[in-house]
Amino acid sequence: MAGSSQPPAPEPLAESLSLALPHVTVAAQLHGPRDGVPVVALHGWLDNAASFSRLAAKLPGLRILALDLPGHGLSGHRPPGLGYHLWEYAHDVLMAAEALGWQRFSLLGHSMGAIVSVLLAGSMPERIARVGLIDGVLPQTGAPSRSPERLGQALRRSLRSRERKPLYPSIDDAVRARMGAGYPVSREAAERLTERGLVAIEGGFTWRSDPRLLAPTPMRLSDEHAKAFIAEVRCPVRLILAEQGIYADAAEQMAALPFECCWLPGGHHLHLDDETGADAVAAALLGFFSD
């Protein structure tokens, strides 16, 4: 009927995957044709592989491995005594690619996953073909003079008894909590992330993620460290920035980066919040990984 709007086509089902790496078992979702261009997709802090569930179907011709990084989603947690540092995630990604036999591949990262992508591309340029970044590029840096104080905070926190996870009476309660936690997301985005991030326990539901992800970072890279990694990236990089995202007040700093930048309307999770944002991100990335 004229003037009527058609609902979006259903998304192709993703293939579930579990990779037993030498140091941890990671879960993932595989999208796209088996002979597609290999791309590893990395989500943000406290998110999971569902972060790319709306976007992946809009990027034809790619074989996208959307990982649950260790401590997140359905992946295993690191053993006691080990933490969740950016460079350790880079190692996880490399080992996952090794498990699939991907000697050269591209990266698609959001937020923390984008930062990990830059670290890996700068340190292993021979393995990375292209990098797509969504509202993430630079790690939080710190002055070397603050390092002893920061490490002390982390060590004191580690001596405390393990903190209890939040308990939600219903899935809807968890969804509403996720909508307002950290960087706010739409209800649809929260539902997608929650479906993969929750586990049923006595009395309700709680997050699968490792509580240690909330611990203070014991060490931060300096500004010089961050610039050094960026300078060593040898492949094409396309940086998609959200106009209402985390770099909204850093346009000058973003323009100074040696990467191709594109600003799009939306918040930090613009690729997941709604179809409009996902379509815009997909259009910005269309053809990039297969050029």
Q: Which residues are catalytic?
A: 111
d(CA 289, CA 206): 37
Q: How far is CA 179 from CA 25, 63, 186, 256, 273, in A?
A: 28, 29, 6, 33, 10
Q: With helix as H, strand as E and coil as C, how does 144-167 read?
A: HHHHHHHHHHHHHHHCCCCCCCCC
Q: How far is CA 147 from CA 142, 151, 160, 222, in A?
A: 8, 6, 21, 10
Q: How far is CA 166 from CA 44, 142, 161, 188, 270, in A?
A: 20, 30, 15, 21, 27
Reading the block at residue 83, the tokens are 């933490």
> 107 near 89, Cβ under 8 Å?
no
The number of beta carbons lying within 10 Å of the beta carbon of residue 1 is 3
Closest CA to 207 of 72, 83, 99, 12: 72
